Amino acid sequence: MLTLLKIRNFALIDDLSVEFGSGLNLLTGETGSGKSIIVDSLSALTGERVYSELIKEGEARARIEGIFEIGRSQALADQLEEGGIEFVDGESIELLVRRELSASGRNRVFVNDQLVTQGFLKKLGVYLADIHGQGEQTTLFSPGNHLEILDSAAGLESERNETAERYASLAEVLSELSELKSDEAEKLQLLDILRFQADEINRAKPAEGEDDELEEEKKRLNNVGKLSELSDEAHSLLYESEGSVVGNVERVRDRIRKLAEFDLRFAEYEESLESAHAVLEDLAYTVRDFAGSLEFSPDRLEEIEDRLAELGNLKRKYGGSIETVLAHLEEAEKRLANIETAEEREQELRRKASVLRDLYLDSARDLHEKREAFAREFEATVEKDLAGVALEKARFVVSIECPDKGELENHVDDRSISRTGFDRIEFLFSANPGESPKPLAKVASGGEASRLMLILKTAARLQESSKAAVFDEIDAGIGGRVAEAVGLKLKELSSRQQVLCVTHQPQVASLADLHFIVEKSTDGKQTRVSITKLDEAEQVAEIARMLAGEKVSNTAREHAKEMLKAAR
């Protein structure tokens, strides 16, 4: 749901801020007052292209901001995480989307103050709003959306889920089988290489961390004289010399014990002194033992250097560290096993794929049959509702194409199967008698497509959605009873999701939950667009203007009051 929209220096708008609510939000105003500019700004917030030429004349920058409150879904959360967008996770997610335009052409996009690309915003836009404006019919024109609309209307969620799960299981096995075939096809080239690499690493038997340990030992061997001198001096200072540290600590300890007999404050230091004495004595023994172990061995130094050279050669070949060498060994042995047992594994996977494919086809056929059964009912419902919105002669057809049984069983075209089944669904439409129904994108005008989308959204009884549905002049070219029917459809839709609609029809405006008027004014030098939320009295005046035109009569005002009363 769009809760707040702010626009600055965009087209004819200086500074505009408006709060929308749930239900039916209607925008009215005279032709050319700037209503479509507001819809265009919403399109910008859903990722549509917007150009610097739309910056208000005389200004260097423009800004469009919107706050959206969207119901949480895993798909939305994944999309936000992919873009590195921070958000507060809960039942709903609040998003602040901002587009900044610059006269220099350096336009920027932000989501929750994180800089993103326009392409990312366009992906995110499908969760924010569906805009059905003049020329904005991509949702309806795309056959990929027709399948979703039909299945939602038919209530096929559980059948789709079962089909999707079985497809995922089949796809996993087919993917493994494809990898196996690739290994088998390359085995003549790879077998010798993989065996050589595995043998080379296994002969060397590298151990994790071995090179670090050898480097330390090498350093010690190269510094035996210095280490011997340091350890002897340390041992002497700690233990052997007159006034040694250990001896001094012992003497201090004894005197503190005697002091404690006279003053208990010293007693608390006895344990710490004992601990210090033990640590220093242990350190002295460790230094002594270390000094005794030091012995320069040219043979051992040569052995270490040879081993480090061997390990260095492996690291250069296989990734730069002992860990990557061992990982390469594991991968090489795995691929060898795949190649050497490919035939047996392939037979096993083929048997498994055959069983999973049969299970998938059972689910997909069930889904297909239910779609076929529901499609005729859906066509009749849509055509009936189209008649109520001035499309009495329109025909609506759900085209369902699928591979025949032989193609499916013989794997003729596995590209036709997917997680949603094997049906290809497209809505066909004809607005005029004598014309056969054709794909929507080819025959439906902007106004027809907007009304058809409204009918589909209500006829399909799509589940509640937290994104906004925006209609720009969906009622163009209609009036009277038809306009009232369009208004009732909008009202029905607004019970399930927020609806924003630009309208010129008083029959539609009277049904608003929130009514806004868009006005254009000029001081002779500049033209400005403003938007105002109407109270009840102002709503009466606006509807009366829509009924009567420039000269509003008392009769028009009374009629407006009656329309509002009837709508409530």
Instruction: Supply φ then ψ for residue 69, to 5 degrees.
Output: -115, 110
Read off the tokens for 382: 């849509």
* Apex 96 CA angle, 93 and 99, nearest 5: 145
pLDDT of residue 96: 94
- How many whole angstroms separate alpha carbon 33 and alpha carbon 10? 14
pLDDT value at 194 more than 50: yes
Q: What is the mean pLDDT of the chain?
A: 85
pLDDT bucket at 18, cuts 50 / 70 / 90:
very high
Q: Whats the size of the chain, residue-wise?
A: 568
Give pLDDT, residue 182: 67
Which domains are delineated in the chain?
1-135+465-532 (3.40.50.300), 202-337 (no CATH), 535-568 (no CATH)
pLDDT tens-place string over residues 74-83: 888 888 888 8
Distance of CA 372 to the CA centre of its chain: 33
The arithmetic mean of pLDDT across residues 141-170, rounded, is 88
Find which of 341-345, 452-456, 497-501 is predicted with most confidence, using mean pLDDT: 497-501
Q: Using an 8 Å Cβ cutoff, are 455 and 385 in contact?
A: yes
User: In this predicted structure, which of 189-198, 294-303, 357-366 has the lowest mean pLDDT?
Assistant: 294-303
Mean pLDDT of the region 135-163: 81
Could you tell me the pLDDT band of residue 5, with boundaries at 50, 70 and 90?
very high
- Give the pLDDT score at 412: 44
Q: How confident is the model at residue 138 (pLDDT cuts 50, 70, 90)?
A: low
Predicted model pTM: 0.58
How many other CB atoms sit within 10 Å of the CB of residue 144?
Answer: 11
pLDDT band at 538 (very low <50, low <70, confident <90, very high): very high
Range scoring the smallest mean pLDDT among 170-174, 260-264, 348-352? 260-264
Would you place residue 462 in the very low, low, confident or very high pLDDT band (cuts 50, 70, 90)? low
Closest C-alpha among 486, 357, 512 to residue 27: 512
Torsion of Cα atoms, 78 then 82 then 88 then 91, to 10°: -10
Q: What pLDDT shows up at residue 139?
A: 65
What pLDDT is stored for residue 21 in this prediction?
93
In this predicted structure, the answer to whether residue 480 has a pLDDT above a threshold of 70 is: yes
Quote the pLDDT of residue 136.
46
- pLDDT-based confidence at 188, cuts 50/70/90? low
Q: Which residues contact 312 (CB under 8 A, 6 or more apart)?
A: 211
When pLDDT is averaged across residues 89-110 and rounded to a whole number, the result is 89
Q: What is the mean pLDDT of residues 252-265?
A: 85
Q: What is the pLDDT of residue 411?
A: 60
pLDDT at 518: 92
Q: List the structure tokens of 361.
A: 């086809």
- Position 97 scores a pLDDT of 94
Residue 140: per-residue pLDDT: 73
pLDDT given at position 109: 93
Residue 478 has pLDDT above 80, yes or no: no
Count of CB atoms within 10 A of residue 473's CB? 21
